[in-house]
Amino acid sequence: MIGIKKGFPSFFSLLAVLLAFASHHPLASQVTESVDPFYENLLEEGRFFYQEGKTAEVIENLEVAYFGFLDSPPRLAECYIYLTVCHFQQKNLEKAKYYHNEIKRLKLEQQMAAAKLPENLAKKYAEVAAKLGKS
């Protein structure tokens, strides 16, 4: 057996320190937050279409885009909120309820502030959520 000098850190304790440092390093969060530009573009287009009142196009973009944000709760919340509101506006209550329930199931309400939603969308979502909660 190889002898280790007393006071010399073991390989595993050194590894633990490095991993702890890496998880708190500013660049570590950027790596985990990196999303394929394809999904970023779909989200951006969805935002644009929402401002233009084109709910069908929002749905078309964001029902694909949210897959790219499964590891990014604020942006996943944003996609689901747009989808809840747009499906409700399209009178597809089943889909609106589905996305609303996903928001609750995944506890994404906590991410709404980080999602930086447009004020009109946040307001509309609150109205829709209240109506869906009653049904």
Encode pLDDT of 20-72 as tens digits.
444 444 444 443 458 899 999 999 999 999 999 999 999 999 999 999 999 99
- 120-133 pLDDT per residue, tens: 999 999 999 999 98
Q: Is residue 9 part of a domain?
A: no
Cβ proximity of 59 and 89 under 8 Å:
no
Q: What is the mean pLDDT of residues 9-26?
A: 46
Q: What is the mean pLDDT of residues 17-21?
A: 46
Cβ count within 10 A of residue 54: 16
Q: Is residue 52 part of a domain?
A: yes
Residue among 27, 29, 82, 36 nearest 59 (CA) = 82
Percent of the chain exceeding pLDDT 90 equals 69
pLDDT value of residue 133? 87
Q: Is residue 18 part of a domain?
A: no
CATH code at position 43: 1.25.40.10
Q: Is residue 21 part of a domain?
A: no
Q: Is residue 60 part of a domain?
A: yes
pLDDT exceeds 50 at position 115: yes
CA distance 35 to 66: 11
Structure tokens belonging to residue 45 = 């287009």
pLDDT exceeds 80 at position 118: yes
Q: Is residue 73 part of a domain?
A: yes
Cα–chain center distance at 103: 10
* Four-point Cα dihedral 41, 44, 48, 51, nearest 10: 160
Structure tokens belonging to residue 57 = 């196009």
CA distance 2 to 53: 70
pTM assigned to the model: 0.75
> What residue numbers bound the domain in which 103 lies?
36-134
pLDDT exceeds 70 at position 11: no
CA distance 133 to 33: 32
Structure tokens belonging to residue 25 = 């390093």
Calculate the alpha carbon distances from 119 to 16, 41, 71, 75, 104 in Å.
43, 21, 24, 16, 20
Q: Is residue 42 part of a domain?
A: yes
Q: Is residue 71 part of a domain?
A: yes
Domain count, the chain: 1
